[in-house]
């Protein structure tokens, strides 16, 4: 069974930078896995942030960026705002079937 792994929790100071990672049990995450990133605040539906590893949606704040580094998908938040406190999930595409990571709870403190 394929497992996608994220950091369970991270903390960032307001205005600071934080990196969230997403690893696959099958090996290196590449662009062929179309990594997506989502933000979910308490009581709300998820909101898409990044697709295909590094592409932003029209509504994605500029302080969020996605990349591939060291065999993992990476979400970088530069200049964290209090409203960025949320759960973040990555999604990896495995040729039809897709798998979410366990999520990272990001605290801005």
Partner 1 sequence: QVQLVESGGGVVQPGRSLKLSCAASGFIFRSYAMHWVRQAPGKGLEWVAVISHDGRFIYYADSVKGRFIISRDNSKNTLDMQMNSLKTEDTAIYYCSRGAIVGAPKQLDFWGQGNLVTVSS
Give the binding site for partner 1 (CB under 8 A).
Answer: 1, 34, 36, 38, 40, 45-48, 51-52, 55, 57, 87, 89, 91, 93, 96-103
Closer to partner 1 by Cβ: residue 79 or 98: 98
Identify the CA nearest to 21 among candidates 108, 90, 107.
90
**Shortest Cβ distance from residue 74 to partner 1 (Å)?**
17
Q: 85 — phi, psi (to 5°)? A: -65, 120
- Least Å distance, CB 89 to partner 1, is 5
C-beta of residue 15 within 8 angstroms of C-beta of residue 99: no
2 in Cβ contact with 25 (< 8 Å): yes
Identify which of residues 74 and 91 has a Cβ nearer to partner 1 in the complex.
Answer: 91
């Amino acid at each position: 069974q394929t497992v996608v792994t994220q950091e369970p929790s991270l903390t960032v100071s307001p205005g600071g930078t934080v990196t969230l990672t997403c690893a696959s049990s099958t090996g290196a995450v590449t662009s062929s896995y179309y990594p997506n990133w989502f933000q979910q605040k308490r009581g709300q539906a998820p909101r898409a942030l990044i697709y295909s590893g590094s592409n932003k949606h029209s509504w994605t704040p500029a302080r969020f960026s996605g990349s591939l580094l060291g065999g993992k998908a990476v979400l970088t938040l530069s200049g964290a705002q209090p409203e960025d406190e949320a759960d973040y999930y990555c999604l990896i595409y495995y040729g039809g079937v897709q798998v979410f990571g366990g999520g990272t709870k990001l605290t801005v403190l």
